[in-house]
Structure 1
Amino acid sequence: MASVGRSLFVFLCLVSSIVFVTPDELPDDWPPKDEKFKYEADGLYSEDFDLEIGKGLKTFERNLDDVFTCRLSYEIPKGETETWRFTLNTAADKSSYSCFAERPGPTNSELNFKQFKMSLIGVNEINYGEAYGDPSVSLPAEEYMVDKGNMEVASLPGKFKGHMSRLFAVALMHHPHEEL
């Protein structure tokens, strides 16, 4: 029963933090074919980026509201470059932030990751995190961990099998209560 309550709480947190954006005037040729997708609005930042392939740990990070930073660290020893999307979002009342890193579109990632870690900076508590092998199928719990102390969602060395298509985390901000 506790699992159902936790799932419902996470669902409500995610739904409350989603911002629906419908720009009025977009040109017919947007986004341009030679440019990567990038969108900014109040409480929302989204950008396409290319995962770097090669030796060593690579990092991609972005900031939202000069408060919240999401950092994706990963290692992909070999493969073809893929474009992924990085999205940061906040609830209207700034009580929570979320970060998504995913392979956009209908195709799964073909890359074999050696490791990954999503770090949340500037928030007080990581509330939920999840990694997906296929876009709609969570990785088995033994392949990754949500580290509330370090504010991270990370692969587990020796357990992670290398396949990931989506990674996300939700964090809470604690605002001091004012006495009336």
Structure 2
Amino acid sequence: MSLHDFSAYPSLTDAVFSDRFNRIDRLFSQLTGDLPVSFKPPYDIRQMDENRFALSLSVPGWKEHELEIEVTGGRLTIVGKKEVKFDDNRSAEETQGGWLHKGISRTDFCLNYAIPEHMKVTDASLEDGILTVGLHQELLESQKPQRIPIHQKAPEALEQKNG
């Protein structure tokens, strides 16, 4: 399970270190033949306009009934579970022979995002292997950033004393 804080301004250093860890994990997985420690589909966060965002996950081959999206207590949870297996522990897709190589991951996953209380999930769609979750930021005027002007103090006039 992965936990992410959703922010309109994600930390660049978090992304860099997370990406490095994921690359190392994938490299060792390729060398050993094991599955990566934690599979999570790649995702993008895009700001559509001032108050709307889109979270897009790459989920090729997944069907709508295999994906669940839930919002509870400030947590957005996206779960992917494969179809039910047959008695011989093979899925319906695997029973159809002819595979020479299977490189597209169909590993179950669970992603969690902490979303601020003023952000609401508006919709979700699955198209061409991309799951898109729409988010809307509802800020009150008192919560919006305010620019504070800096006033410059007028210089005092120098008085000349004749003495």
TM-score (norm 2): 0.31
> Which has more strand, going by share of residues?
1
TM-score (norm 1): 0.29
Q: Which has the higher contact order (CA 8 A, sep 6+)?
A: 2
> Which has more helix, going by share of residues?
2
